[in-house]
């Protein structure tokens, strides 16, 4: 529930559709999940029913949020419910499936476009870098470096780290970092790189005028 509220916000009107607020989505998934689970379900059956409901309703957009909620309560990927009529034979587990353990970059948000686009910007302006990134925590390394405006290949200068002390976490997995550019970058191009542990780095390209 709270993972979805963190991601989509809270809607005080519980009669709104599931697309309005994480709380309404959570209620919809629970209701739909009961339709997917078997008769006389156990805890794992209930978990799998909600996961199946999310796959059917949203295409699986929230699988990792759901897995994290269940895993921290002992219904992780390797949990065993045993006999649903026996309260004593279940085996708890707090692990996540492999698909939810690696960091996943969800892309930049407006006004920045992902590659292959090259973003036009005024040298000396402040560019809001908004992006989604799950599974990487909040201790991120971000840098920029000059690139050739034709090939977008780095020109050889060392990357310059951005000040991430002001990194804002807007909601779960959604970040905002203001990048103050230099007025001397006029008529040059640069690449911003987000260094993601155990995953491919995320980049965006800029052409300054």
Residues 91 and 82 sit within 8 Å (Cβ to Cβ): yes
Return the minimum-mean-pLDDT range out of 38-42, 144-148, 198-202.
198-202
Q: What is the mean pLDDT of residues 164-192?
A: 93
Give the pLDDT of residue 7: 75
Note if the pTM is more than 0.75. Answer: no
b/e per residue 31-44 (b: at least 16 CB within 10 A): ebbeebbeeebbbb
Which CATH architecture describes the domain 104-208?
A: Sandwich (2.60)
- Distance between first and last Cα of the chain: 46
pLDDT-derived band at 189, boundaries 50, 70, 90 = very high
Residues 169 and 136 sit within 8 Å (Cβ to Cβ): no
Return the ∠ at Cα 51 (arms to 173 and 109), rounded to 5°.
25
Please enumerate, as own/partner, the contacts of 118-121 that have beta carbons within 8 Å and a separation of 24 or more. Answer: 118/152, 118/189, 118/205, 118/206, 118/207, 119/204, 119/205, 119/206, 119/207, 120/206, 120/207, 120/209, 121/181, 121/206, 121/207, 121/208, 121/209
pLDDT in tens, 118-177: 999 999 999 999 999 987 777 788 999 999 999 999 988 888 999 998 899 887 789 999
pLDDT in tens, 52-98: 999 999 999 899 889 989 999 999 999 999 999 998 999 999 998 87
pLDDT-derived band at 24, boundaries 50, 70, 90 = very high
Residues 43 and 75 sit within 8 Å (Cβ to Cβ): yes
Residues 143 and 162 sit within 8 Å (Cβ to Cβ): yes
The ranges of the chain annotated as CATH 1.10.390.10 are: 2-99
pLDDT-derived band at 100, boundaries 50, 70, 90 = confident
pLDDT-derived band at 198, boundaries 50, 70, 90 = low
Give the pLDDT of residue 166: 87
CB count, 10 Å around CB of 58? 15
The ranges of the chain annotated as CATH 2.60.40.10 are: 104-208
Give the pLDDT of residue 41: 95
Q: Is the pLDDT of residue 99 over 80?
A: no
pLDDT-derived band at 199, boundaries 50, 70, 90 = low
Give the pLDDT of residue 8: 83
Which CATH architecture describes the domain 2-99?
A: Orthogonal Bundle (1.10)
């Amino acid at each position: 529930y709270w993972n979805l509220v963190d991601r989509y916000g809270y809607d005080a009107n519980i009669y709104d559709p599931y697309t309005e607020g994480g709380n309404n989505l959570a209620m919809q998934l629970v209701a739909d999940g009961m339709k997917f689970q078997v008769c006389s379900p156990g805890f794992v059956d209930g978990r799998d029913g909600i996961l199946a409901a999310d796959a059917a309703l949203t295409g699986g957009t929230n699988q990792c949020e759901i897995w994290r909620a269940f895993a921290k309560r002992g219904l992780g990927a390797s949990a065993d419910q045993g006999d649903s009529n026996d309260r004593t034979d279940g085996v708890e587990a707090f692990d996540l499936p492999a698909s939810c353990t690696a960091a996943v970059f969800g892309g930049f948000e407006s006004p920045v476009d992902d590659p292959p686009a090259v973003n036009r910007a005024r040298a000396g302006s402040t560019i809001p870098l908004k992006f989604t990134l799950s599974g990487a925590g909040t201790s991120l390394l971000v840098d920029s470096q000059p690139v050739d405006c034709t090939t977008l290949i780095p020109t050889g200068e060392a990357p310059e780290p951005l000040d991430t002390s002001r990194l804002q976490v807007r909601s779960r997995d959604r970040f905002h970092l203001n990048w103050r550019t230099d007025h001397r970058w006029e008529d040059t191009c640069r690449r911003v790189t987000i260094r993601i542990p155990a995953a491919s780095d995320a980049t965006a390209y800029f052409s300054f005028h």
